[in-house]
Structure 1
Amino acid sequence: MDTQNSNSSVDTVTVMNDNTPNSGRVVNNRLDKNTEPYQVIGFGQCSWVYHRKGRNHVVKLARQGYQTALETDHTAHLKVRAAFDIHKPPVNVPEPIRLAPPTSRWWETHSSILLQPPYDISQKTSWALLSQRIPPLPKCHRDTLINTFCPAHKRRDAATDTKNEDALARVYLGRRRVSGAPLPPNFSLRNYNLTLDQLLQLDAPVAEYARQMGEALCVMHWGAWVDGYGIEFVLGGQPKPPKMASSTATGKQTAVSVDITSAPSPAQPAYDANLAQLWVLDFDLCSMWDRERMCRFPNDLVQQLVRAFFKNDPYYPLPSMKGEVEEELWWEFREAYMEQARSMRLRHPLPGSFIQACERRGSGNLEIWEHDF
């Protein structure tokens, strides 16, 4: 689930078309001196995610029956990336590189690598989705998470486990841990769930995260026409720019560079290996629409967006959450969403309709919301 940079996509695709002999004998750890193996760094309901050490791309490989999910992922990803390039919300989106169906020439040099164990070959298909890898969290942040949240007797193992070098942290502004609950017996920094209470414990800039999510979701809704269902917001590293990270590659460069434990600095445009950034990814469950549907069925569209918002994992602050911090985060999210909508000069009131419908649902009013447009 990692991914990009418009200035590096050509180089990345060139690398992916490498014809190095014997490059595929990696699953048995028989490595050519010029190759590195693809390693599984994540998996989900629809796919496995592979990465090759030293490369800036990942490969999603569809499970049997989920080929169309990769097509949806790629199509929605392209729309979101294009909208982010135009409107530049302060969140990174990985660069989509290509969708490789079974007939693709890309498979001629990669099928021997990927269509083998360690995972059940019967569950794999020769459909692959290539995208930029999200840089993992810098070591200083990995160490902070391990020293703060890993059981003491497991910290040394966690610190030396190479799998934790692929660290990404899901930012759950809509969830706190149960008070007094014990630390989980297993600890992994791959897709670590970082809840609101943990973020507050780290003095993380949660209000800024809420604003960034609000801006990003607004652009996704009204710039890309993608509902955002199933997307993830994670903290990862800052991408290394080919020369200097351009605004089209990373959004608002001055706003997205944030330290987990300090507020972002608007005067921090340069690459810093110790900074963490917010990224959005995973579009395989998203639905899309066109202008005709928006004009003909606005109420249905708003309801679809509300359902996607509340059914997603708890990344967003919610209007139904109680507590001073939670209420502040919803306000920050709400205001950022509406400010972004105003900056886009939209000719319809649907962004406000979406926010109002969310607040009605958050207050317990589950009646079908309708508005005369």
Structure 2
Amino acid sequence: MASNYRFTEEECHTVHPDTLLRCMLSMTAVLPMAKVPTLQGPFETQIGKGQCGTVYTLGIGGLVKKTPNSISKIAELRRESQSHMSVLKAFYNAPEALSSKAQVPRLYALMSPPSSHTDDESPDERVDILSDYSYGIVSRRIFPLHDLIATALLESLVPTFSVRQRETCLSNPTNNNCLVRLYLGRRGVSRSKARAEDMNLRNFPLHVDEMERLCLPIPAYITTMAQSLALMHWKAGIDANDVEFVFGDSIQNSTDRDGHTVSVWLLDFNQCRRFSHDQAGLKQLVDALWWNDPYYPRPSSSNPQDRVWWNTFSSEYLDASSLLTDSKMPRQFIQVVEEEGKQLAQRDARMQVLGVTLTLGISGIALGMIPSFREAVTRYMGISAPGGVWRILAIFFALLSIKSLPFVWHFRVFKNLIWQFKLQPIPLAKSHLFAPVITTSHNSISECDYNFHKSNSTYFADLDVSRAAFVGVLLKKSLARLNSGDLTGLPEEAKTTKASYIVALGGVGCVFRKEIPPLAKFEVWTRLLSWDEKWIYLVSHIVKRGAKKPSNYFLQSWRNGKGGKKPMKEGEDKIKSIYATSIAKYVVKKGRLTIAPEIVLRRSDLLPERPANQPAIPTQVSDTPTPEGGEKPYMSSPENLVAQVMGQLRSENMFDKKEEAKVGEMTWKEVEAKRLRGLEIAQHFDGLTALHGEWNADDNVLGEYGDFFW
């Protein structure tokens, strides 16, 4: 529907309830004035009641009166009037940029305010609130939503209700004043067991997943809440504890008064308090947000979309706060809320695990008390048979050593290859060229040596798994294009060779730093180190699990925001988390023909454009044997090559000075500098190939020994 779309009388009764809600709650449509909210009516009709006071209509001027429920609530009601007035002043004097704030009911001092008062008056020009117990607080009424909207809410969000149940609910006098609460911080609440006689339309909760289903403008609601909260914090000076955001009819603010529209309203300030600008005040603001009903998005949710809504809210809140104060408290407020949200999410996760564990444990105990079940378990597991106990122990030990079982290594490697090559939907961008892939594992019992630490030889199996995942990410697009016939830039021999493209491991080395204890968890961080005219060099770091939590996961956006809270210090603190570091080199071949890494990486769209005056790395490598019969070195003189290119890098004309990169991407100069820095390290590993010539087969030996006794 277009903005300000007007429903006709006929459309009101034929339009689908979802469409009606989508238009009206998006605040882009008008319902005909089928039921005019009268400004004159019954005197002191109760329309609401809370823990502090009871709200009555005054029957004149569209006003309501909130009276204290007891003598002890008079002081609280007086504080509410002060907070309400502070919010009115703050919203009235808000910067023009904060135009999306919620509506606040006008506040009056008399039972019958002067007729000259208008909605456009400054709150300072109104008479002060009466504190007399017999009067209470007098303010503008938030008129209820149109009956058609109330009916659509039941039809759309409580589909289990029959027509009779809906009529029962709508005929309940307490449901004549329908207001809808905006719960952006709650989802997944079932209404399947709702009872018509218990349904309360006076405070109907609309949850964020229901808003998503109705395609409502959630970002607009978030902006409204964020700007309103910022104004209450930094303009009104209150903590906004227990305030409510509701949908209500905006007829009393309409200039044409010939139709019903919907607005977001702010109400209930009786729990609000002023706060100090120190750590105690910061805690007060954070507590107020968590204690309130879930109007605001929550950073503690495990749902990825909720994280998006929270990020939007925090950004809008900080933008609004920057217009109101120069203090650092708004950013500190968001940071503390996020930290507490993280702790709350971890606590919930632990409680879920504990709940599942207790459920399984209690179920196991209950089943174990059944004689027939015990007999069946004993019979099928063979415990009573000869060797039955040893069989159970063998299964238990196998589970502890699952990484060393036959074909488990194959599963771990091919799982990553299949996922990255076939199932991973997100392509890499140029900014991801040097980003690492993280794989996780643990040191199983069977991988320990006689010192009861992870055996040196087993590191390579975990490195294989990590490199398989990274190579799949790095070369997926390139190999797909090469195998589909994209031969641009390849030597002529590639066009005639019928062999398939393969990725081969040419060598691997590992430097150990400290031992890994039994059953300890660890991570393997693998990334691109460098490349030359033949080899692609990868570096892998085996580190303590959780030593560093990334803040961004390019291929797994649902993880974003779960890390980034554990900064790593420079120098020694960083090294202490490393168990071992490995380097490996890969080559892409078609038959005996080597495909230059630069061609491969460019096929993956990972390299920026090379400047015209930048010399290219050779892209044709001969595999013709040397006269001595050995393999031709792939870097004839690594030191000279690096020195030559580094010298060119430092020259003034090496790169185009006008070279620019897109936001988040590196320029060719930056990529080349990082490649050459890695190549300086790789050349030392590359020099180890000279050790092949150190095998002297004619020398005398000390002896020959087998693995076992033969």
TM-score over 0.5 (shorter chain): yes
SS at match of 1:363: helix
How far apart are the structure 2 equivalents of 1:287 and 1:59? 22
Aligned to 1:316: 296
Contact 1:96–1:131 (8 Å) recurs in 2 = yes
Aligned to 2:330: 351
Contact 1:238–1:272 (8 Å) recurs in 2 = no
Aligned to 2:166: 155
Deviation at 1:142, TM superposition (A): 1.5
1:229 corresponds to which of 241, 250, 275 = 241
How far apart are the structure 1 equivalents of 2:253 and 2:266? 19
Aligned to 2:603: none
Matched ranges for 1:213-292 at <5 A: 213-241=225-253, 244=255, 273-289=259-275
Unaligned stretches of 5+ residues in structure 2: 1-39, 114-132, 346-710
Mapped pair 1:42 → 2:48: yes
How far apart are the structure 1 equivalents of 2:91 and 2:191? 41
Deviation at 1:199, TM superposition (A): 2.3
Contact 2:170–2:176 (8 Å) recurs in 1 = no
Contact 1:58–1:131 (8 Å) recurs in 2 = yes
Deviation at 1:54, TM superposition (A): 6.1
Aligned CA distance change for structure 1 residues 35 and 286 (closer, same or farther; 3 Å):
closer
Mapped pair 1:191 → 2:203: yes
Aligned to 2:154: 146
Greater shift, 43-52 or 195-204, is seen at: 195-204
SS at match of 1:221: helix
Aligned to 2:317: 337
Corresponding letter in the other structure for 2:233: H
Q: Which has the larger radius of gyration?
A: 2
How far apart are the structure 2 equivalents of 1:193 and 1:207? 18
Corresponding letter in the other structure for 2:232: M
How far apart are the structure 1 equivalents of 2:154 and 2:92? 35
Deviation at 1:146, TM superposition (A): 2.3
Aligned CA distance change for structure 1 residues 160 and 57 (closer, same or farther; 3 Å):
same
Mapped pair 1:81 → 2:88: yes
Aligned CA distance change for structure 1 residues 286 and 51 (closer, same or farther; 3 Å):
same
SS at match of 2:150: helix
Aligned to 2:140: 132
Contact 2:187–2:207 (8 Å) recurs in 1 = yes
Deviation at 1:77, TM superposition (A): 0.4
Q: In the comparison of the two structures, how many residue pairs are matched? A: 280
How far apart are the structure 1 equivalents of 2:243 and 2:77? 14
Corresponding letter in the other structure for 1:164: N
Deviation at 1:348, TM superposition (A): 1.4
How far apart are the structure 2 equivalents of 1:62 and 1:177? 36
Aligned to 2:218: 206
Greater shift, 172-181 or 334-343, is seen at: 172-181
How far apart are the structure 2 equivalents of 1:128 and 1:207? 37
How far apart are the structure 2 equivalents of 1:52 and 1:360? 46
Deviation at 1:160, TM superposition (A): 4.1
How far apart are the structure 2 equivalents of 1:271 and 1:334? 36
Contact 1:99–1:128 (8 Å) recurs in 2 = no
Greater shift, 178-187 or 193-202, is seen at: 178-187
Deviation at 1:326, TM superposition (A): 0.8
Corresponding letter in the other structure for 1:281: L
Deviation at 1:241, TM superposition (A): 3.5
SS at match of 2:149: helix
How far apart are the structure 2 equivalents of 1:330 and 1:272? 37
Q: TM-score, normalised by structure 1?
A: 0.68
Greater shift, 300-309 or 233-242, is seen at: 233-242
Identity over aligned residues, as a percent? 29
How far apart are the structure 1 equivalents of 2:215 and 2:294? 19
Deviation at 1:36, TM superposition (A): 2.4
Aligned to 1:110: none
Mapped pair 1:165 → 2:176: yes
Corresponding letter in the other structure for 1:154: Q
Aligned to 2:510: none
How far apart are the structure 2 equivalents of 1:239 and 1:284? 26
Q: Deviations over 1:112-143 (max 9, x none)?
A: xxxxxxxxxxxxx5351111111211233222
SS at match of 1:364: helix
Deviation at 1:80, TM superposition (A): 0.6
Matched ranges for 1:11-160 at <5 A: 36-53=42-59, 55-64=61-70, 65-87=72-94, 88-90=98-100, 91-98=102-109, 126-150=134-158, 151-152=161-162, 153-160=164-171
Q: Deviations over 1:299-337 (max 9, x none)?
A: 111111000000111111111112122111111211110
How far apart are the structure 2 equivalents of 1:180 and 1:96? 36
Q: TM-score, normalised by structure 2?
A: 0.37
Deviation at 1:53, TM superposition (A): 4.5
Deviation at 1:271, TM superposition (A): 6.5
How far apart are the structure 2 equivalents of 1:327 and 1:271? 40
Contact 1:221–1:228 (8 Å) recurs in 2 = yes
Q: Deviations over 1:65-98 (max 9, x none)?
A: 1111110110000001100111155210111112
Aligned to 1:303: 283
Corresponding letter in the other structure for 1:86: N
Contact 1:74–1:99 (8 Å) recurs in 2 = no
